[in-house]
Amino acid sequence: MAETKERVIGIDLGTTNSCAAMVRGGRPEIIPNAEGERVTPSVVVFSDGDEVLVGQLAKRQSLLSADRAVLSVKRKMGTDWRFNVSRDGKQEAYTPEQVSAYVLQKIKRDAEDFLGGEVNRAVITVPAYFNNLQRQATKDAGKIAGLEVLRIINEPTAASLAYGLDRQQQEQTILVYDFGGGTFDASILDLGEGVFEVVASDGDTELGGDDIDQRIIDWLVDEFRSETGIDLGQDVAALQRLRDAAEGAKKELSSRMEAKISLPYLTADATGPKHLEKTLTRARLEGMIEDIIQRTMNIVDNTLEAAKKSPEDIHQVVLVGGSTRIPKVQELVSQRFTKGQVNRDINPDEVVALGAAVQAAILAGEMDEVVLLDVTPLTLSIETLGGVATPIIERNTTIPVERSKTFTTAEDYQAQVEIHVVQGERKMAQDNKSLGRFVLSDIPPAPRGTPQIDVTFSINTDGILEVTAKDKGTGKSSSITIKETSRLSQEEIERMRNEAEEHAEEDRRRAEEVEARNEADQLIYTAEKTLSDLGDKVPSAKRGEIETAIRDLKQKLESRAELSSLRSSIDTLKRAAGEVAQAAYSQGGEEAGPGGEQGGDQGGEDQGSDYIDYEKE
């Protein structure tokens, strides 16, 4: 009897939206809901019958069923507020716990569908300012929903856990700046020996991204009125389009300097249709919302004061909530906390749920088994024909790892190959760091492209790289062990990556040129071979055409002709040789085609074989 692994999840039970996550393979992941969305609106609608709608569907009809819909029940947690509604002729009164339980139930059910198993245990987050009654109510909501609540944790703590701040071996002070759709919270946490303690927390429950959208809408309405004399304030349909456009523009301005808002046929008057066409610059938006952001910074100051800390005491800043994507917010926060590291890489809408999932996994004992595995900081390659660095293990690959590729010879009767191992992101081997070379010799004489040489890169957990080259024909192998692949300093790694970025374009051109030259060389070889193999079967006119094309291509190779010119000659020869091969086939010459690429591929990454540069004495 196999014991099925029971899943534990983390839930961010929010005022507007809720979100769930779980740890898989040591990393937290968001669990999408039944509608395929990553967040679920915290809205519940009680029908007159026995149906209860939760989430997006409930939100869509919340206006129609205003007396049957519960929004923002989180604000009521821990109070004796009741939601009174008649159902099937009976008057019912729901507690905030019961209403929240419907949201949690949907999350539980959707998670079970997604994961294909029961979900019975969860960690749920609450704002740092929640009192014991509110926490207990949240826990009870979980119980009603059929969840064993392993722990109630603070949202800022969850966000810090998602960033793994608890694993840093030092005492730290953390500021969590949480600027969501409708609320703003600032919390200061002390972290010591892996335990978080909320020192101070402050906020504004009526301040968020929705206010920013409203500013943009107001601006658009004003502009439209002054241009057309039409007031859109009462036009529901137009306002809906404005709202979508405003939110879109706000989001666009997080990555661009200006956003075009274009709403053709927005409305009409006696003179005809009216269109709205506006450009909102980032500077203008920042001007519009300066006071909103300033209010958040004032709250941050109050929180610092309450915690008796100065900005210099803050080691880490964690950004939570969609509104922290606004560049101005990030700028002001970084300016205030010059000594602090600003954490903002994780999706700010999801970071709390992800952190709750981490806490759940820790409590379920799942994180103990997780060993932090290293990654290769830079790509490891070997030098192939023409000095190209051919990657075997790409950068950011988790170790231990083993990867192989099959190569072949570049010259007829080549007796040995040299394996040159390099590290770095540049396309040409010489621009990368050389880690070592070795030779595989005694390759039996064979035409080029025939021998198959497996090159295997194996990195163990200590980061030690062993490179082995093995002739598949004879089984003879040769290898080298390289110890310093991971001994690069962070600066060195950065420098090498930056260099690769700076030279990306020129490197690409050089690699392309080498590739074309290699192709030309191979093509000449096979075309000549075809001519000699087929002998008399090739009509003399065709033979002449191919020979001319070969001469032309050889000449271009020698004179190092331009890439485009080289390519056109390659195409000419390819066409001519291809026709001959085809003709030979149709005449019944079974093995008459130009020799295709030889050698299989062991690494499963590329289709053809590369040629290891032949070392001439």
Partner 1 sequence: MSHHEYSGEEEKQQPQEEGQQQGEDLQARIEEKEQENQELRDKLLRVRADFENYRKQVERNTEELVRRVSDQEVLDLVEVYDSMEAAFRAYRRLEDAQAFVEGMERIFAQLAEMLERKGCRSFCAQGDKFDPTRHEVLIATESPEERDTILEEFERGWCRGERVLRTSKVKASLGPEHKTGGDTHGGNEGKSNRD
Stretch 134-173: interaction string toward partner 1, x if CB under 8 A: ----------------------------------------
Long-range contacts: 530-539, Cβ < 8 Å, 24+? 530/577, 530/580, 530/581, 530/592, 530/593, 530/594, 530/595, 531/580, 533/592, 534/580, 534/584, 534/589, 534/592, 537/584, 537/587, 537/589, 537/592, 538/580, 538/584
166, HSE (Cβ side, Cα atoms, 13 Å)? 16
- Among the listed residues 97, 166, 178, 425, the single catalytic one is 178
Q: What are phi and psi of 147, to 5 degrees?
A: -110, 135
64 lies in the binding site for partner 1 (CB under 8 A): yes
Cβ–Cβ under 8 Å, residues 204 and 299:
yes
Residue closer to partner 1 by CB (options 279, 460) is 460
Quick check: 60 binds partner 1 (CB under 8 A)?
A: yes
Q: How far is CA 321 from the centre of its chain?
A: 18
Stretch that binds partner 1, among 206-214, 254-262, 312-320, 358-366 (CB under 8 A): 206-214
| Residue 389 tokens, joined | 């660095």
Looking up tokens 């274009």, which residue turns up?
262
242 scored as a contact of partner 1 (CB under 8 A): no
Active-site annotation holder among 12, 140, 610, 613: 12
Min separation Cβ 195 and partner 1, Å: 28
CB atoms within 10 A of CB 125: 28
Distance between CA atoms of residues 204 and 192, nearest Å: 28
216 binds partner 1 (CB under 8 A): no
What are 76's two structure tokens?
A: 């009521």
**Site size toward partner 1, by CB under 8 A:** 55
Contact 473, 467 (CB under 8 A): no
* Contact region with partner 1 (CB under 8 A), list: 76-84, 219-227, 439-447, 497-505: 76-84
Question: What tokens were used for 601?
Answer: 């591929």
The catalytic position among 97, 110, 155, 425 is 155
Is residue 7 a contact residue for partner 1 (CB under 8 A)?
no
Instruction: Assess 58 for contact with partner 1 (CB under 8 A).
Output: yes
- Upper half-sphere CA count for residue 599 (Cβ side, 13 Å): 30
Q: Which of 9, 71, 145, 421 binds partner 1 (CB under 8 A)?
A: 71
Report if residue 504 touches partner 1, rule: CB under 8 A. Answer: no
Name every residue whose Cβ is closer than 8 Å to that of residue 529 and which is 6 or more positions away in sequence: 594, 595
**DSSP H or E stretch at residue 334:** helix 327-336
Contact pattern for partner 1 over residues 219 through 238, marking x by CB under 8 A: -----------------xx-
Q: Which is nearer to partner 1, 15 or 359 (CB)?
A: 15
23 phi and psi, to 5 degrees? -90, 130
The yes or no reply on residue 210 touching partner 1 (CB under 8 A) is yes
Q: Is 92 a catalytic residue?
A: no
Q: Examine residue 75 and tell whether it contacts partner 1 (CB under 8 A).
A: yes
Tokens representing 451 are: 């021998």
Cis peptide before 400 (omega within 30 of 0): yes
User: By CB under 8 A, is residue 267 in contact with partner 1?
Assistant: no
Of 183 and 450, nearer to partner 1 (C-beta) is: 183
With CB under 8 A as the contact rule, the residue among 10, 78, 156, 181 that binds partner 1 is 181
Please enumerate in sequence order all residues whose Cβ is within 8 A of that of 525, keeping only pairs 6 or more positions apart, or say none: 448
Cβ partners under 8 Å of residue 598, min gap 6: 408, 449, 450, 452, 609
Q: Give least dist CB 241 to partner 1, A.
A: 7
Q: Which residue among 34, 37, 52, 72 contacts partner 1 (CB under 8 A)?
A: 72
Q: Smallest distance, Å, CB 429 to partner 1?
A: 24
212 or 584: CB nearest partner 1: 212
Upper half-sphere CA count for residue 133 (Cβ side, 13 Å): 7
Give Cβ neighbours of residue 465 (< 8 Å, ≥ 6 apart). Answer: 380, 421, 435, 457, 458, 459, 481, 482, 483, 485
If one asks whether residue 268 binds partner 1 (CB under 8 A), the answer comes out as no
Binding mask 81-110 for partner 1 (x = CB under 8 A): xxxxxx------------x-----------
Tokens of 54: 């939760």
Catalytic residue among 59, 74, 274, 556: 74
Active site annotation includes 155 = yes
| Spatial distance between the Cα atoms of 211 and 246, rounded to a whole number of angstroms | 11
Region of 23-31, 166-174, 196-204, 250-258 interacting with partner 1 (CB under 8 A): 23-31
Our CB check for partner 1 shows the closer of 384 and 458 to be 458
Residue reference for tokens 């610092």:
304
Among 1, 2, 270, 371, binds partner 1 (CB under 8 A): 371
**67 makes contact with partner 1 (CB under 8 A):** yes
12 belongs to the catalytic site: yes
The β-bridge partners of 277 are 262
Query: Could you say whether residue 26 binds partner 1 (CB under 8 A)?
Result: yes
Site for partner 1 in 338-357 (CB under 8 A): none
Q: Nearer to partner 1 by C-beta: 376 or 522?
A: 376
Task: Report if residue 399 touches partner 1, rule: CB under 8 A.
Answer: yes
Q: Which is nearer to partner 1, 14 or 593 (CB)?
A: 14
Which residues fall within 8 angstroms of residue 330, CB to CB, at 6 or more apart?
319, 324, 342, 344
Catalytic machinery residues: 12, 74, 155, 178
Where along the sequence are the contacts to partner 1 (CB under 8 A)? 14-17, 25-27, 43, 53, 57-64, 66-73, 75-76, 81-86, 99, 180-183, 206, 208, 210, 236-237, 240-241, 371, 373, 396-401, 460-461
